[in-house]
Structure 1
């Protein structure tokens, strides 16, 4: 589903922001001091960016070594990591950010993941955003060898270090015929024939959207552009903007967790060593515990 660009209405005179009061001489001087301080801060940030890139290049061979080790033994049916079947799926499921992201029909597809990579959109300015790349072995579901997701970011406020996600762009998935797991297939309702009797049922199926990681994660989001499924006739523009921003904020947090936590230390997430204390790995575990408690109560 695509994005709908909203038309912006011209500002009325009553909507124009009032003029701000002029700074006093002392405030002006203090702001000039701030600006000189900020200039040094920019020099520092530039040096930090250079160090980030330098050490990212030094770390990259280890990530490639991990990828090659997981691929040991050559292609195997049903998995992208023959050495540890379902490696990436398990690593993702063990992270709180992905706790409730996967449906049962998503998991067989994610078994074909061979690697997940990360890089910056602009190496000259790492604050402009980053890219996540999902690598897949040949599989029966889609033709893409990779699925990419880009997070375009910018500095929201130079005085508090806040980074804001301004747009999210994802690859379009080329599903093979009959293999799109983001839709459910149900028989079409039979039409009434002559005499009011229903015609013989045919095997024709109609597709209806259903929840899926591949729909909710690999989609485009941007301010002022509304996902079709969230566009409601009675909603105001402000409500739609709030919904879009809410989705973007959550998506950005998930992408950042994948970039900073899972990709660097995937095996620790796979084994569960990196899982925060108190996190049980998903709602299924909580449900099973509740069921056990109910059984105990029944026994009493």
Structure 2
């Protein structure tokens, strides 16, 4: 039933929804052809998914061998053969180069591997990323995971939308949470007064790979308090649009890790896979700047 309105007597009457006109015979016939084509396309996608699973199984031993090679050596962290291997591979990707802060780096040096898997056998409901860590002074977790749940937006556009992003909780060891910074009010004098003021120390959120990568999100949520964006109107529709943009951007980064960094990590480590900058990129600067205001790793107002 539609929104009620008042008639001339002042009484509310239900709004009558407009009827959808019936398709002409030719349109009906064309839609039947569309439906048959879509049925064949669905079958095509199923076969492609089966083929992809087959080759993923063949490729996995190569990734296992890579992990083995990186685990032996005299270096430190999660990849003794090449200290900070995964940290450098992530930093060299354009989608992540600004996501990693200086205080994130010591933690990320303990990465031993990054893996991915589909959340369902047909690969159309989303995927999971798992970050594997060696024993370290920062977190107790052996693994941290991030899971994207998706659904088909339209069978005719082949586009999908993100329903939710779920992440594991990070178990920070005492005093090692890099997503916050300690703030101590300045006081004059010393002694008891200084000790009293020290007790008022507090922690403030700061930009961090671990804050922004490991953020739960879902459709219908409000914009997180630590995300600073300029909104013309603080209505639900505008908030929903911002959350949608955040989730869309987030899955693009997740797909970059899944499809580019994980399979070809050494090329990202060396920088060979990094795109070369040229003058043509300047043409896209305006669009890039527009999107950056919603970038989930650089949302804080750092001006003061």
Q: Give the shorter-chain TM-score range.
A: 0.7 to 0.9
TM-score normalised to structure 2 length: 0.80
Task: Quote the RMSD (CA, aligned, Å).
Answer: 2.6
| Runs of 5+ unmatched residues, structure 1 | 1-9, 192-197, 280-300
Cα deviation per residue 1:52-109 (whole Å; 9 max; x = unaligned)? Answer: 11111111111110001100137x54x1100000000111111111121011101111
Tell me which residue corresponds to 2:237: 238
Tell me which residue corresponds to 1:224: 220
Tell me which residue corresponds to 1:108: 106
TM-score normalised to structure 1 length: 0.81
1:102 and 1:212 in contact (8 A); partners too: yes
2:180 and 2:203 in contact (8 A); partners too: yes
Tell me which residue corresponds to 2:24: 24
| Distance (Å, rounded) in 2 between the aligned partners of 1:61 and 1:115 | 14
SS at structure 1 position matched to 2:173: coil
Q: Structure 1 residue 137: deviation in Å?
A: 0.6
SS at structure 1 position matched to 2:195: coil
Tell me which residue corresponds to 2:195: 201
1:109 and 1:141 in contact (8 A); partners too: yes
| Distance (Å, rounded) in 2 between the aligned partners of 1:59 and 1:168 | 27
2:175 pairs, out of 175, 178, 187, with 178
Higher relative contact order (CA 8 A, sep 6+): 1
Q: 1:131 to 1:278 in 2, by over 3 A?
A: same
SS at structure 1 position matched to 2:124: helix
Q: Structure 1 residue 20: deviation in Å?
A: 2.7
| Distance (Å, rounded) in 2 between the aligned partners of 1:16 and 1:255 | 45
Q: 1:45 to 1:188 in 2, by over 3 A?
A: same
Tell me which residue corresponds to 1:272: 271
Alignment of 1:51-66 (within 5 A): 51-66=51-66
Q: 1:212 to 1:230 in 2, by over 3 A?
A: closer
| Distance (Å, rounded) in 1 between the aligned partners of 2:90 and 2:227 | 27
Tell me which residue corresponds to 1:297: none
2:78 and 2:109 in contact (8 A); partners too: yes
2:118 and 2:127 in contact (8 A); partners too: yes
1:231 and 1:240 in contact (8 A); partners too: no
Q: 1:243 to 1:113 in 2, by over 3 A?
A: same
